[in-house]
Amino acid sequence: MKYIIDISDLDLNGTYTYSDYLTWRFEQSVELIKGKIFKMSPAPSVRHQRISGKLYGNLFQSFRNKPCDLFSAPFDVRLLDVKKSSKANKDVYTVVQPDISVICDKTKLDEQGCIGAPDLIIEILSPGNSKKEMKTKYALYEESGVLEYWVVYPSEQTLLQFVLNEDEKYVLKSAFAEDEVFYAHIFPELSIDLAEIFAE
C-alpha cells in the first residue's frame, strides 16, 4: 500500500473513498464527507478538551455495565450512503470523527472503528468549525440515521439537543443553558448537570 504523506499531493476538489482515506498519513487531521476532504480545526483548546472530558466521564459512569460502547475522538465513524448496502471500503465516502459517539449495536464495530450510524453523537464546537458542524454534519447525521445529536457551544455555555422523529428528520427537542440539568432522549436515565460540565 502506497501512503500519501502530504495533503497537497491530492486534488482537494476530487472525490475519495475510505480506501483512499486509509492511505493518508497527513499531519493535518481530515474528515471525508460524501467523498470530499474537510480539513479539521487545529488541536482543540483546553476548554474544549475539559468539556469533552467531563461529558465523557459522565457518560462512562452512566454506561458502565450496559451494552452500549462509548468512544471519543480520534475515532473513525464511517457513514454509509443510504442508497448503498455495501460496506466495502471502496463504497464508503464519509468518515467523520465526532467528539463523542455512543454505539449500542455491536455489529457496527470493527477494528477500524464504527461503520453505520451511532445512536448518539456529541460535537463540541470550536470557533473555526461551527458552520461545518451545524450545517454539513447536521444534515449528514440526520440522513445517516443518528438517533440523537448534541451540539455543545462552550462560549455560550449552551447545549442543543436534536432528536430524529418518525419522519427521520431532526427536531430541536430542547436547548439547555449553563446551570440546567437535562436528560438524554434515547437514554432517559442519563442526566447531565451543565453547571458541572461548564465549570472552569
Tens digit of each residue's pLDDT (9 = 90 or more) over 109-167: 999 999 999 999 999 998 767 676 678 999 999 999 999 999 999 999 999 999 999 99
Range of the domain at 183: 46-77+93-198
Q: How confident is the model at residue 65 (pLDDT cuts 50, 70, 90)?
A: confident
Residue 30 inside a domain? The answer is no
Residue 183 inside a domain? The answer is yes
Q: Find the mean pLDDT for residues 2-31.
A: 91
Residue bearing cell 448534541: 150
Q: How confident is the model at residue 43 (pLDDT cuts 50, 70, 90)?
A: confident
CB contact at 8 A, 101 and 115: no
- Segment (H or E) for 72: strand 69-72
Alpha-carbon 1 to chain mean position: 28
pLDDT at 73 over 90: yes
Per the structure, how many domains does the chain have? Answer: 1
Q: Which three cell numbers stand for residue 51?
A: 468539556
CA gap 100, 62 in Å, rounded? 14
Alpha-carbon 98 to chain mean position: 2
Strand partners, 31: 38
Residue 26 inside a domain? The answer is no
DSSP string, 126-164: -TTTHHIIIIIIHHHHHHHT-SEEEEEETTTTEEEEEEE
Q: Find the mean pLDDT for residues 188-194.
A: 93
Position with higher pLDDT, 178 vs 85: 178
The domain that contains 125 carries what CATH number? 3.90.1570.10
